[in-house]
Amino acid sequence: MPPKNASGSSTGRSRKRKTDAQTESSEEPPISDDVNSPPPAKKPRGPKSAKGKGNESTVLPVNWPEYFDYVFVRQSVEGLLKHFIYALPPALTPEATRKLINKRNERFIQAVNELLEATSKHEDPASLLREAARDHIPVNPNVRISTDPAQSDSKGNERRIPEPADRPTIDAVIEEIHSQEWYQDQIVDRRIVEAKDGDIDYLEPALSKTIAQALQSSRNITSLYTHQVMAISALSQGKNVIVSTSTASGKSVIYQVPLLRFLEEDPHSTAMFIYPTKALAQDQKLALEQLLYSCPGLENVKVSTYDGDTPQELRAGVRETASVIFTNFDMLHASILPHEDLWRRFLKNLKLVAVDELHYYSNVFGSHVAQVMRRFRRVCAAVGNSRSRFVSCSATIAKPKQHMVDIFGIEDVVEVTEDGAPSGRKDYLIWNAPLLDPMDASSGRRSSMSEATRLMRFLMARGIRVILFCKIRKVCELAMKALRAELTADGRLDILDRVMAYRGGMCELIDRRKIEKEAFSGNLLGIVATNALELGVDIGVLDAVIMLGFPIGGIASFRQQAGRAGRRARDALAVFVAESYPIDQHFVNNPSELFDKPMKDLIIELDSKVIIEAHLQCAAHEMPVTLEDEKYFGPTLKDLCETSLIRDEDGWYHTHPKFLPFPAKHISLRGAEEEKYSVIDVTKVDNPGGQAFILEEVEISRALFEIYEGGIFIHQGLTFIVKEVSHDSKTAKLVRTDVNWITQPRDFTNIDAVQTYRIREIKGSPFRAFYGRVELKTVVYAIIDAVDLDTPPWERESTGMWMDVPKPILELMRDSGINPAEAIHAAEHAFLNRFALAMDLKTECKVAEKEYKTKASQRKRPARLIFYEPTGKGEGIAVKAFDHVSDILRDAHDAVESCQCEEGCAACIDSLSCKEGNLVSSKTGALIVLKAILGHPIDVDLIPEYPPEISNLPSTVVQAPAVRTAPGVEVEEA
């Protein structure tokens, strides 16, 4: 056990200890620095006596729009939400107010008509008005006006965004940041990676003159780097290749040059390029088309996209005429392989298969992809093509050759890891928001989003092209909303016009493609994105990356996102803006881990009978399976064929009828397909010629929390109010509105074990682990405890495993002042941190707001460590954890006990994927729970004494009830 703290304070996290009792005792509402939260209500000035007058007169508000926003909007909302209200006596009677508004409306209409009459047909009145407005847009009074041309008023110094070639150096920009009034030592760590020269080599045999000419004219490439030469040479010798080098090292040339060689040798050759995202495929397709157009003799080679956005009426043309297709594994699985008879021309002539960003495919998704590749190779062999060569590129990963062997099922792989590409200088900054009160560390920190958006505005004003990475879609939209408000307040509409949000789930194909085109062409100055742009999309001369919060994908994602800047050998900047969560603060205090810690191995599950059997049903539908197919599907083939497929009299195995007519529909490579709500903008429906249109489609797992009547929905940083929701038709109608506040619902999710299918001993322990059916129920019930929501619960089933905390241990923790919710939550994270496939297994994360309330909660949760498969598909991940439960528990115990941290870190009890930020956590409690389940002795004298206010919090955890066991279940030996 960890030693007892000298102060006797909790080994749980002290920063969470402020209870709602303390909040309730405050006379003033708490002040929030979050740019996305409404500013705190301020008591307005009442009637004042006018100097020099014999009587009193009311001083009218100077800024009428703000006045009406306060009186009629903010006070109504805050009253509705039970915030503090300060009544303001009206300065005008209602009748006088209406007359004033009508008079100003009439003058506005008159001014618009005068502008339209004075505008020639060659001019755009809206553009003229926008340009003229820049001198008159109100500026945020809290922002200090700079005399720098990039920030100055247009009177005297014209505001101008520097051209890319004229932008300052990153070193100069960092020096300028240090001199800003708002800078308060946010930079806690700075590292510089100096520029390096490239190493070139020469191909033997050399490239043809036409290919060399195409490379020079389309890409300005006159020589090849060493890693490019090594990979292209291996492919020309008939070998398969994996290239794992840094971002922007020219990996795309490695499969484009061999393709051109194949096409010159045989014009009937075909190739398939597989990408994980549509944005990446769109970028690389354009690059290949430019290269082919520049190559004499290959100008007419047809290159086509074949993905979910390809219209049905165009797909036959792609199959029949395309020489190169850009696709993804979802289409290969669900469209190409099931109709292999329609693709035989293409497959017979297939010379090259390129899979980019191979590191993207791991865990359950990667395990499915591995089986799709085996089905694909089997079909190619059946049509007489065993000559296809496979090439894959990836960011720097651990054991790239082994990962390619696992995914492709092939052995003859050449690994290329020596990077010969040049790189520019790059500065890495770790940025931590300053404390609200520098004299009080418990006061909390300023909003990390405010810090990130301010830094982004500062960089863009200096001509530095920036991408801001956010972890989830909602944060992406909130950041875009903040930028829109801040740039408008600063009068920088010239910058705002060149900033857009890019994220997955955008509904309109045209909108998404427009953003991609703007990004690729370099027209955008700023992009706010989720990890949809984390991969190697070439979005022009990108100078800086800002990461808002530590990426969910861990250190690998951190390095991948940081690599998005400086892709063309210029100096670049990567900034990690830490949030207040423990995982972020861990890397603030240990920044070297971000750069020096080795990558984890990528995990592929190749012996999961659940996954293999599902793909065997698909393979048998493509063409009957024989026992000789063991070379593709492994040693479990015979058993799976005999138990799950249908054997005919000739010994061929066919798809089981329950999966017909389309077995591929029963497998979703990326997890369960959720129902979606259509979000419809009806703002202009009542106007002449106005129409409703779909803004986007939202998965039900998001819709419950973002779409409810009266709520604020954000799209491209613009706010909409939800007018109507139909849960039957899965539609939501929205109206555009300009507000400076957002809404946040109250919700909870219960994960409950309902039936036991298997029971297993835990080695050396009297306790057991259980596997079975799990029910999940999500309820969204109110907005800020004031407005009840009539939202149906979201109920679904899955499979999972669980372990109960013994009753004596539960009592021991209560008697010792240890919060059981903290202990169980931390122990669950510790277990997942030692499980290789943890990315595809979830747990019930504890919410700080509930666990630390002084008022007793009616929602008591069982004292149980529970884990479930979020897809609900029964992929076999929970079974894998259950089968190895003793080893995982022991590894988790050892990791927590040996870790040198005080309150917990990513190496022991913190989880990168904890949606509640790891706030409810206790390292001591986790160790007690793990020891108890393992049957290890617990020395009670080593348990720290906790402050009374902590131990006296109402308990939210009760003894776990027994779970119904299915008939015939016996206890399995450890």
179 lies in a domain? Answer: no
pLDDT of residue 701: 76
Residue 951 pLDDT level (bands cut at 50, 70, 90): low
Three state DSSP letters for 759-793: EEECCCCCCEEEEEEEEEEEEEEEECCCEECCCCC
Q: Is the pLDDT of residue 5 over 50?
A: no
d(CA 394, CA 280): 13
pLDDT of residue 705: 81
Give me the chain's average pLDDT, please: 82
Last residue of a domain, one of 596, 623, 648: 596
Q: Is the pLDDT of residue 298 over 80?
A: yes
| Structure tokens that stand for 114 in this block | 């005068």
| Structure tokens that stand for 959 in this block | 């003894």
pLDDT of residue 390: 96
Q: For residues 630 and 247, which has the higher predicted lDDT (pLDDT)?
A: 630
pLDDT of residue 13: 56
Q: Is the pLDDT of residue 576 over 90?
A: yes
| Structure tokens that stand for 589 in this block | 């205090």
Q: Is the pLDDT of residue 787 over 60?
A: no
Q: Is the pLDDT of residue 152 over 70?
A: no
The 8 Å CB, 24+ separation contacts for 205-213 are: 207/257, 207/261, 208/261, 208/264, 210/264, 210/295, 210/296, 210/297, 210/298, 211/257, 211/260, 211/261, 211/264, 211/295, 213/294, 213/295, 213/296
727 and 825 belong to one structural domain:
no
pLDDT of residue 135: 60
pLDDT in tens, 339-353: 999 999 999 999 999
Residue 782 pLDDT level (bands cut at 50, 70, 90): low
Average pLDDT over residues 299-310: 92
d(CA 723, CA 538): 40
**Sheet of 413-416, strand order:** 303-305, 324-327, 270-274, 350-355, 389-394, 240-244, 413-416
d(CA 800, CA 770): 8
Q: Is the pLDDT of residue 443 over 60?
A: yes
371 lies in a domain? Answer: yes
Q: For residues 310 and 397, which has the higher predicted lDDT (pLDDT)?
A: 310
Rounded alpha-carbon distances, angstroms, from residue 56 to 88, 93, 218: 17, 17, 77
Q: Which of 86-100, 383-397, 668-682, 845-859 has the lowest mean pLDDT?
A: 86-100
966 lies in a domain? Answer: yes
pLDDT of residue 506: 52
Q: Is the pLDDT of residue 14 over 60?
A: no
Q: Is the pLDDT of residue 962 over 60?
A: yes
Average pLDDT over residues 25-46: 37
pLDDT of residue 841: 87
Q: Apex CA 158: angle with CA 156 and CA 160, to 5°?
A: 155
pLDDT of residue 535: 59
Listed residue (289, 288, 290, 284) closest to 307, CA to CA: 284
23 lies in a domain? Answer: no
Average pLDDT over residues 221-241: 94
Three state DSSP letters for 632-651: HHCCCHHHHHHHHCEECCCC
Residue 50 pLDDT level (bands cut at 50, 70, 90): very low
d(CA 769, CA 767): 7
691 lies in a domain? Answer: yes
Residue 29 pLDDT level (bands cut at 50, 70, 90): very low
Average pLDDT over residues 222-251: 91
pLDDT in tens, 105-150: 888 888 888 888 888 877 888 877 777 776 665 555 444 444 444 4
Q: Is the pLDDT of residue 631 over 70?
A: yes
Q: Is the peptide bond before 44 cis (omega within 30 degrees of 0)?
A: no
Last residue of a domain, one of 736, 756, 774: 736
Contact 461, 499 (CB under 8 A): no
Q: Apex CA 368: angle with CA 362 and CA 369, to 5°?
A: 70
> Which CATH number fits the domain that encloses residue 522?
3.40.50.300
Q: Is the pLDDT of residue 385 over 60?
A: yes
476 and 591 belong to one structural domain:
yes
Instruction: List phi, psi (to 5°) of 390.
Output: -115, 130
pLDDT of residue 1: 45
Residue 448 pLDDT level (bands cut at 50, 70, 90): very high
**Residue 392 burial (CB count, 10 A):** 27
Residue 632 pLDDT level (bands cut at 50, 70, 90): very high
390 and 366 belong to one structural domain:
yes
Last residue of a domain, one of 736, 760, 781: 736
35 lies in a domain? Answer: no
Instruction: List phi, psi (to 5°) of 903.
Output: -110, 0
Angle between helices 473-489 and 448-460 (to 10 degrees): 60
Strands 240-244 and 389-394: parallel
Q: Is the pLDDT of residue 617 over 50?
A: yes
535 and 592 belong to one structural domain:
yes
299 and 234 belong to one structural domain:
yes
Q: Is the pLDDT of residue 497 over 60?
A: yes
828 and 808 belong to one structural domain:
yes
d(CA 32, CA 440): 16
Average pLDDT over residues 681-686: 90
pLDDT of residue 158: 55
In sequence order, what DSSP letters do the residues of 682-706 get, joined into one string? -TTTTSTT---EEEEEEEHHHHHHH
Q: Apex CA 840: angle with CA 882 and CA 874, to 5°?
A: 65
- What amino acid is encoded at 620 in this protein? A
786 and 767 belong to one structural domain:
yes
Percentage of residues in the chain having pLDDT higher than 70: 82
Average pLDDT over residues 559-585: 86
**Residue 473 burial (CB count, 10 A):** 21
pLDDT in tens, 426-440: 999 999 999 988 888
Range of the domain at 703: 676-736
Average pLDDT over residues 793-813: 90
d(CA 148, CA 185): 22
pLDDT in tens, 456-470: 999 999 999 999 999
Q: What b/e readout covers 582-592, taking b as 16+ CB neighbours within 10 angstroms?
A: bbbbbbbeebe
Q: For residues 56 and 710, which has the higher predicted lDDT (pLDDT)?
A: 710
Three state DSSP letters for 499-565: EEEECCCECCHHHHHHHHHHHHHCCCCEEEECHHHCCCCCCCCCCEEEEECCCCCCHHHHHHHHCCC
630 lies in a domain? Answer: yes
Angle between helices 252-265 and 226-236 (to 10 degrees): 40
pLDDT of residue 849: 82
876 and 923 belong to one structural domain:
yes
Q: Which of 414-423, 568-577, 690-699, 946-955 has the lowest mean pLDDT?
A: 946-955
451 and 475 belong to one structural domain:
yes
Predicted TM-score (pTM) of the model is 0.72
Contact 270, 349 (CB under 8 A): yes
645 lies in a domain? Answer: yes
Domain count across the chain: 5
d(CA 397, CA 665): 32
614 and 590 belong to one structural domain:
no
Q: Any residues with CB less than 8 A from the CB of 523 and at least 6 apart, and which?
A: 498
Residue 880 pLDDT level (bands cut at 50, 70, 90): confident
Contact 242, 400 (CB under 8 A): yes
564 and 689 belong to one structural domain:
no
pLDDT in tens, 529-562: 887 665 555 555 689 999 999 998 888 889 888 8
Average pLDDT over residues 37-66: 39
Q: Which of 234-243, 838-847, 890-899, 939-948 has the lowest mean pLDDT?
A: 939-948
Q: Is the pLDDT of residue 194 over 60?
A: yes
Angle between helices 820-833 and 885-898 (to 10 degrees): 110
Q: Is the pLDDT of residue 97 over 70?
A: yes
Q: Is the pLDDT of residue 205 over 80?
A: yes
Strands 842-843 and 712-715: unpaired
Q: Residue 478 is inside which H or E element, if any?
A: helix 473-489
Contact 560, 499 (CB under 8 A): no
The sign one gets for the Cα dihedral 756, 758, 763, 766 is: positive
579 and 552 belong to one structural domain:
yes
Q: Is the peptide bond before 661 cis (omega within 30 degrees of 0)?
A: yes
pLDDT in tens, 263-274: 999 999 999 999
Residue 882 pLDDT level (bands cut at 50, 70, 90): very high
